Amino acid sequence: MSYKLLFVCLGNICRSPSAENIMNYLIEQSELTERIICDSAGTSSYHIGSPPDRRMSAAAMQKLGFKLRGQARQFQRSDFEEFDLILAMDRENYHNILYLDPTGKYEEKVQLMCDFCSQYTLKEVPDPYYGGSEGFNQVIDLLMDACGGLLEHITSQELDLRS
């Protein structure tokens, strides 16, 4: 049985596909591709079907050596059932996700991405969309930290329960 992660931002073209691709890279390095599955989505419908933002992909290529893959989709109620952990990039995304769960049934599944950082103290992954290249680079660094911490959390807490 695999553990399923969903990364969520606003449009699903910058932060969440970066998190998905970085996490897949770390999962591959750890030889856990059969155990952990990743996807990403946006709370809005602005960019459905679009590939990751070219500026975000350029930052990933420059810092990590790979281009971002994926196609934007919108978060749906069924994602609560489908995924074990839903990671919001910022508080607004977090609240927008929980808004679709009025009974609070899935609240424990939704967490902020930065809660898994060990090097950075930021509480939210800032949206780089309207800024310059430095913002995209910062997002990559922040997500590398958070994804590393997340993988550590999953391998120490969650996968032990499922083996």
Q: Is 15 noted as a catalytic residue in this protein?
A: yes
Q: Is 9 noted as a catalytic residue in this protein?
A: yes
Catalytic residue selected from 9, 14, 38, 147: 9
Catalytic residue selected from 14, 15, 73, 145: 15
Strand-pairing partners, residue 7, are 40, 87
Q: Which residues have CB under 8 Å from 53's CB, separation 6+?
A: 13, 14, 129
Q: Is 73 noted as a catalytic residue in this protein?
A: no
b/e per residue, 64-75, with b = 16+ CB within 10 A?
Answer: beeebebebbbb
Q: Cα dihedral sign for 113, 123, 52, 43?
A: positive
State the distance between the two ends of the chain, measured CA to CA, in whole angstroms.
Answer: 8
Between helix 15-29 and helix 133-153 the angle, nearest 10°, is 50
Q: Answer whether 55's CB lies under 8 Å from 67's CB.
A: no
The two structure tokens encoding residue 120: 């950075």
Catalytic residue selected from 39, 79, 90, 127: 127
As annotated, the active-site residues are: 9, 15, 127
